Chain A
Amino acid sequence: MSENYSNSFLREVEERVEEGHWVKMCMQCGVCAGSCPFGPHWAHPPQEIFMMIRAGKREEVLTSDSMWMCTSCYNCVVRCPRKLPITHIMHGLANYAHRLGIAPKGQPTEHFATLFWNNLAETGRVNELKLSLGIYFRDGFSQGIKNAMAMQSVGLGMLKAKRLNPFELFAPHGVKDKSGFHAMLKKAREIEDRRKPIA
């Protein structure tokens, strides 16, 4: 058993997770858990996640899909009597788990978020065609065709309304100074890693 009910994991969260220093201030009232519209659909409500961090359950917390279920409705933040930025902590934890590479594999929110970021970071503009195809074909080729067929009318409608350019698949547009944009992202990552290092 690792050091349970000690400050070790709590301290790690404080140092490396966005808004992680708030976790120790939770008073376990459960208002967040009761306020969450996704309450019944995830393994651990925020109250439990915070207690698990204090109990030193590192693996369980970081491999959990609970924080990925947050829809950012901010109900918990509004209601928390201790004014914890719960939504931000949830995203912070998800982000930390992702960076460590131990986030649950195949979690839809994580998949979409990764897809979206990579899509955006490539050219500085979101390529909607690529993004939607990426999601359609997530579960294999035949499922992808089925998904695309199901969305056919929407796609054609967008094409007609000139909201979708099929040539984007081959020649995507992007920001003017692409290398400058990439340098900016790299710098931002450097700063972020210094502020909240992974390990």
Chain B
Amino acid sequence: MADQKVAAYICQGCGLGDRLDTAALAGVAKKEGKAALVKEHEFLCNADGVKMIRDDIANEGVTHVMIGACSRRAKTEAFGFTDVAVARANLREGVIWTQPDNDESRETTQEMAEDYIRMGCAEAKKMMLPMGNPAAATERRLLVVGGGVSGMTAALEASRAGYQVVLVEKSGQLGGWAGKLHKRTPAKSPFQSPQDTPVAEMAAAIEADANIKVYLNAITSKIQGAPGRFEAEISVESGVTVTEKAGAIVQATGFSLYDANNLPELGYGKSANVVDQAGLETLATAAKGSPIKRPSDGGEVRKVVFVQCAGQRDDSGKHLAYCSGSCCSTSVKQAMYFKDANPDIDTVVIYTDLRMPGNGEDFYRSGQDKGVIFTKGKVSSVEAAGNQCKVNFHDLILNDQTAIANADLVVLATGQVPNSGVDIDSKLKAEIAAAAGDNSLLEAYNASQAEGSVKPVSMLNLNYRQGPDVPQLKYGFTDSHFICFPYETRRTGIYSAGPVRRPMDMAQAMEDATGATMKAIQAIENAGLGRAAHPRSGDLSYPIFRKEGCTQCKRCTVECPFGAIDEDEQRFPVFNESRCRRCGTCMGACPVRVISFENYSVDTVGSQLKAVDVPDEFSEKPRVLILACENDAYPALDMAAMNRNVYSAFVRVIPVRCLGSVNTIWINDALSNGYDGVMMLGCKHGDDYQCHFVKGSELAGIRMSKIGDTLKQMGLEEERVATFEVAITDIERVPQLINDYMAKIQEIGMSPMKGF
């Protein structure tokens, strides 16, 4: 970078001029930061200040700008220069708003500000302006896998938005589960009676839509590529295989009903009069509007019992542990099949908790009004006796062990099992559980791998390095950030919608599919512009990999939470830029540090932490490095500052894209440069993770758990490196964590590594 020219700008607004000696800061930028151009301004983010910077870029050949003002999260529009690399020194939220305004603090506050100026200049010098991928291109076409209500909604919505659609359905017709229903739960006010399903209407709309190409009796036998350039091999039952291109994929592979054969105690398989909810739909459809007959002998049905949570919400570990969220309303609907035809038929719904999402509460009331009897109870067994069944249950309101002896039909609400294909992490999950002392998963895994066992069938058949399907979180549902990014799977450009993502009813599935389609369209467009999708939307940087230094250790390919990295024949990583979310987990993983981003690298952070002025051990001024996740921890710090929550003046904060991007060399560098401790603030991990990059904070936790040996070698206490889980709302807690940690450092004393 021969023609690099760094300009440093120091703002005097928002009280910075009153609290800090900005002339001294300018001196630091000039002498130590080696900025070619240093200017102070009384109000940098106003039109005049921004114009000053723009003029310098235009006339002075400035290529790198260091702005010493507010947090990088503030004034992003004013300082959002796209033609130069921009580094920000956080003097407002990071310094004056977190330090008390009094004479005793004056000196340490100024020191803090000077360090941030040094760090900003150091970072700026190591940054490059992300150029984006000039070869970025995209296919404005959506591949939808699954032709149920979710898939059909996705196809129609995408077409309406002007995109081509390829719809692949495994069976011979569109409709999925919804196609097998007699009626659906109401979707329109007043939510009182079952309604016709939208299947016929939607299928006709798809047929008539020139934008939508449908493959029936077909599966995606292979999918390769990345957002913007997926190539799917579609194998039709007849033996024909075609290749279709797509920019993004919506996976709407739906659910299967939990197998009622697992519930012999509830009479399934012992009497023809015990059916699951799908069985009752079949009976209702077959009746064609005439009264539904008793399956065993075609006799008249006078009493129907609905058993909710059959094989669901089970804590014994034998059945589904979760609630499927849709079976209560289905049972109310099915009870109405009888009540609407003949109010004299008794219908009893035995539930433990009635869960009626959406407008289900109105529908429930309508069911009560029609005389459906609801009773809170737990069914223990169903006995077949001739053409009737005896349902034994515990009435939980009356605390009564009782029975309904004369049920003509018993309907079991068995719940949804996602069709999510192969659990690509099952071995890993089993090994982690086994390490924690639970061998059940490992045994199950080994059994599933045994000769002759039925292996799960992949839904997508991705040729990704990490496996053929999208990762699953729990119970087989596809993994997605539940709070912030519900549709995004851990494969960029592939969005799961409907019951494969979480259990849901038809109305929710349609809403889900619409959302997923919108996200898929964003992914298509972002891929065309070479930009990152969420959560770093619009980011043009992507991992650059120096092949000469690579040792083919595979850590990056294995650890990438998004399966973005494949391997070539020689087992070198192959980065798929548009699959990448730019979290930098690969950069954190790389032991030889050959992975970097143009504006975020081992160097940009490393040079910052080395730029800090570390006083000697007799100064009574410790230094603690804080590596804070930019998604939650850094905003929490900013908000703490807005509330003027004071924390120690001896910490220096560097925001990181994700704790997953933290390379252990930074910890080594910090400690060998005389820092007294390193605090890492990241997001919550585990099943209820909040990490924006899903696995980043977890991986950081694993890496840091192994850093103890390094510390011992350096003759340092283990407490000198500490990791904390922080939420964005922790605006009181974060300053407290910092102060507590500083007290601990005080206790164990200053680092012996200073001054080397």
Cβ contacts A to B, 26 pairs, < 8 Å: A1-B405, A4-B402, A4-B404, A5-B346, A5-B375, A7-B344, A7-B371, A7-B373, A24-B369, A25-B368, A25-B369, A27-B354, A27-B368, A27-B374, A28-B374, A28-B397, A47-B397, A51-B375, A51-B397, A51-B398, A52-B398, A54-B375, A55-B398, A55-B400, A55-B402, A57-B398
Q: Is the CB of B303 within 8 A of A6?
A: yes
Q: A25-B368, A55-B402 are in contact. Are A5 and B373 (CB under 8 A)?
A: yes
Q: Name, among A1, A6, A27, the residue most crowded by chain B CB atoms within 10 Å (CB to CB).
A: A6
- Known pairs A25-B365, A28-B397, A47-B397. 11 more at Cβ < 8 A? A4-B404, A5-B373, A5-B404, A6-B346, A7-B346, A10-B371, A27-B354, A55-B398, A55-B400, A55-B402, A57-B398
B376 close to chain A: CB less than 8 A: yes
Mark interface residues in B393-415 (1 if CB within 8 Å of A CB, else 0): 00101101010110000000000
Mark interface residues in A1-36 (1 if CB within 8 Å of B CB, else 0): 101111100100000000000001101100000000
Mark interface residues in B662-689 (1 if CB within 8 Å of A CB, else 0): 0000000000000000000000000000
CB distance from B148 to the nearest CB of A (A): 32
| Contacting residues, chain B, for A28 (C-beta < 8 A) | 374, 376, 397
Q: Is the CB of B371 within 8 A of A55?
A: no
- Chain A interface residue count, CB cutoff 8 Å, equals 19
A128 close to chain B: CB less than 8 A: no
- Chain B interface residue count, CB cutoff 8 Å, equals 22
Measured CA separation A25–B373 after assembly (Å): 10
A110 close to chain B: CB less than 8 A: no
CB distance from B100 to the nearest CB of A (A): 51
Q: A25-B369, A47-B397 are in contact. Are A55 and B346 (CB under 8 A)?
A: no
Q: A4-B402, A6-B346, A10-B373 are in contact. Are A55 and B395 (CB under 8 A)?
A: yes
Mark interface residues in B348-374 (1 if CB within 8 Å of A CB, else 0): 100000100000000011001101011
Residues of A23-70 whose CB lies within 8 A of B: 24-25, 27-28, 47-48, 51-52, 54-55, 57
Measured CA separation A154–B348 after assembly (Å): 57
- Nearest opposing residue in chain B for A1, CB measure: B405
CB distance from A198 to the nearest CB of B (A): 22
CB distance from B191 to the nearest CB of A (A): 15
CB distance from B556 to the nearest CB of A (A): 54
Q: Which 9 A-B pairs have the closest CB atoms?
A: A51-B397, A6-B346, A5-B348, A54-B373, A24-B368, A25-B368, A5-B404, A7-B371, A28-B376
| Contacting residues, chain A, for B364 (C-beta < 8 A) | 27
Measured CA separation A57–B399 after assembly (Å): 14
Measured CA separation A144–B400 after assembly (Å): 43
| Contacting residues, chain B, for A48 (C-beta < 8 A) | 397-398
CB distance from A21 to the nearest CB of B (A): 9
Mark interface residues in A114-132 (1 if CB within 8 Å of B CB, else 0): 0000000000000000000
| Contacting residues, chain A, for B398 (C-beta < 8 A) | 48, 51-52, 55, 57
- Nearest opposing residue in chain B for A8, CB measure: B346
Q: A24-B368, A25-B368 are in contact. Are A55 and B303 (CB under 8 A)?
A: no
Measured CA separation A111–B354 after assembly (Å): 41
Mark interface residues in A86-129 (1 if CB within 8 Å of B CB, else 0): 00000000000000000000000000000000000000000000
- Nearest opposing residue in chain A for B354, CB measure: A27
Measured CA separation A47–B376 after assembly (Å): 12
Residues of B160-195 whose CB lies within 8 A of A: none
- Nearest opposing residue in chain A for B346, CB measure: A6
Q: A5-B375, A6-B346, A7-B346 are in contact. Are A51 and B369 (CB under 8 A)?
A: no
Measured CA separation A1–B403 after assembly (Å): 10
- Nearest opposing residue in chain B for A30, CB measure: B397
Q: Name, among A28, A47, A51, the residue most crowded by chain B CB atoms within 10 Å (CB to CB).
A: A51
Measured CA separation A77–B376 after assembly (Å): 22
| Contacting residues, chain B, for A4 (C-beta < 8 A) | 402, 404
| Contacting residues, chain A, for B346 (C-beta < 8 A) | 3, 5-7
CB distance from B129 to the nearest CB of A (A): 60
Residues of A117-152 whose CB lies within 8 A of B: none
| Contacting residues, chain B, for A7 (C-beta < 8 A) | 343-344, 346, 371, 373
| Contacting residues, chain A, for B397 (C-beta < 8 A) | 28, 47-48, 51
Measured CA separation A82–B362 after assembly (Å): 11
